[in-house]
Amino acid sequence: MANLKTLPVVYEDSAILAINKPAGFAVHKTHANDQHETLADILVKERPYLKDVGEDPLRPGIVHRLDKDTSGVMLIAKNQEAFNFLKRQFQERLVKKTYLALVNGSPREPFGTITATLGKLGTKQTTQLKGKRDLVEREAITDYKTLHSYDGYTLLEVTPHTGRTHQIRVHLKSIGCPIVGDSLYGRRGAPLPKGLDRMFLHAQRIEFSTPDGKRLALEVDLPDDLARALEGLDKSSL
C-alpha cells in the first residue's frame, strides 16, 4: 500500500481543490465496511468539512475518479455549490482531460479516435458486446496521439471525451495496444520496463471552468517511477 501523509496540492481556491493523486490509492471505498485507507479517508481527516459535500458519504467532495493505480491531477469540490457546478461540467463534457499512457506495441495509425462502445461483464468492461449474452452498449470516445516510439512500446497522449469506467484501458486494448502493467486488461506475460511495477497511466492535465467564471488548465509532471521507466527504454524512429 502506498504511504501518503499529506495531500499533494496542485491548486486551491475557495471552491475547488486539485491534488496530484499518487498511484496505489483507491479514490473511495467500495462499501461502508471497506477497511482499506482511501484518498477520501485522507481528505476527510485533513479537511473534515468535506464529509458534508457531495451526494454519497463514501465520496466526499469527489466529482470524478482515477483508478487505484493511475496517478495524476484530480479535482475535489470544497462545497456543495462547487460540487454541483463541476458535476454539471463533467456531465456536459466540458472538462478536458489528458493522460499519458505507455502501451505495448504501436497503433496502426499514429493518431486517431476510438469509438468502440463499452459494456460491463462482471467487474470488467469490454468492447465485445455480442456472444453468449448481449451487453448494454454505452457510448465511449477516446482520442489518442503518438508522442514517442520505443523498442516494443509507444507513449501516447490520450484524451477521453466520455467518462466510462476503465475507458482508456479498454479502448487501447481494443486497438491491440494495451497499457503496460495493466493487470486487468494488459498483455499477459509481457515484460515490464526496468523499474516499473504498476500500470503506466498518468492523468497529466485537466481543463475546466471554476464557479467564478475562470477557465483553468492544471498540469502535473510524470511521477518519478514512470519517468525512470521511460528513461530506460530505447527510442526508435517514428
Positions marked active-site: 67
Distances (CA, A) of 161 to 113, 115, 144, 171, 214: 10, 10, 11, 12, 21
Number of helices (H), then strands (E), belonging to the chain: the values are 4, 11
Helix (H) or strand (E) holding 86: helix 80-91
Question: Among 71, 64, 129, 126, which residue's Cα sits nearest to residue 102?
Answer: 71
Quick one: cell of 155? 507513449
Cα–Cα distance for residue pair 195/184, rounded to 1 Å: 20
